[in-house]
Amino acid sequence: MVKNSGKSTENSLNERLAARGFRFTTQREHVYHVLMGHRDHPTAEQVFMRAKKGMPEISMATVYNCLGALTESGLVREVNVDPTAMRYCPNMEDHCHFYCDECGEVYDIDFDGSQPGVELPKGFQASAFELAIHGACPKCVKKQDLR
């Protein structure tokens, strides 16, 4: 994992936001660092709870605003794999997601060299794709086996 100094992170964050016409704010910086602090897939609510630890006055509306700005700036991915809520993923590398229908946990799954290639009909313009796999995660498979 590459480790950046705080300063360079701030600069690149500023630049990425500015490139999309967003302002650099302390809330966006904070939400960004909160997301980067865990390699998981929190809901907006979970981001809110974590963000409040270092910034108690932050509001849910601001969290949604920040998540939107970070997503549009390409710093974070929205992951629409959990039917109950949007998830946010700090891992921008090419990968897909496993959703455990038992416990609701989301896992990153690497593409082993072979991304899915689908030929779109004429006229369609793709901007992104998301491969979601549903099933049971190892923990839940074990629980089922014990029954």
Partner DNA sequence: CTAGGTGCAAAAGGTTTGCGGTTAA
Partner DNA sequence: TTAACCGCAAACCTTTTGCACCTAG
Binding residues for a second copy, rule: CB under 8 A, are 78, 80-81, 83, 86, 96, 98, 101, 107, 109, 111-112, 114-138, 141-142
Please, which residues have CB within 8 angstroms of residue 100's CB and are 6 or more apart in sequence? 106, 107, 135, 136, 137, 139, 140
CB under 5 to 8 A by kind: which of a second copy, DNA, none does 133 bind? Answer: a second copy
Query: Which is nearer to DNA, 28 or 96 (by Cβ)?
Result: 28
Q: Does 132 engage in binding with DNA (CB under 7 A)?
A: no
Query: Which is nearer to DNA, 66 or 113 (by Cβ)?
Result: 66
Q: Does 106 engage in binding with DNA (CB under 7 A)?
A: no
Inter-residue contact 115 to 102 (CB < 8 Å):
no
Pairing type for strands 77-79 and 106-110 reads: unpaired
Nearest distance from C-beta of residue 33 to a second copy, angstroms? 25
The SS3 of residue 99 is strand
Residue 54 CB-density burial (10 A; 0-12 exposed, 13-18 middle, 19+ buried): exposed
Among 57, 112, 119, 145, interactor with DNA by CB under 7 A: 57
Query: Which is nearer to a second copy, 56 or 138 (by Cβ)?
Result: 138
CB under 5 to 8 A by kind: which of a second copy, DNA, none does 4 bind? Answer: none
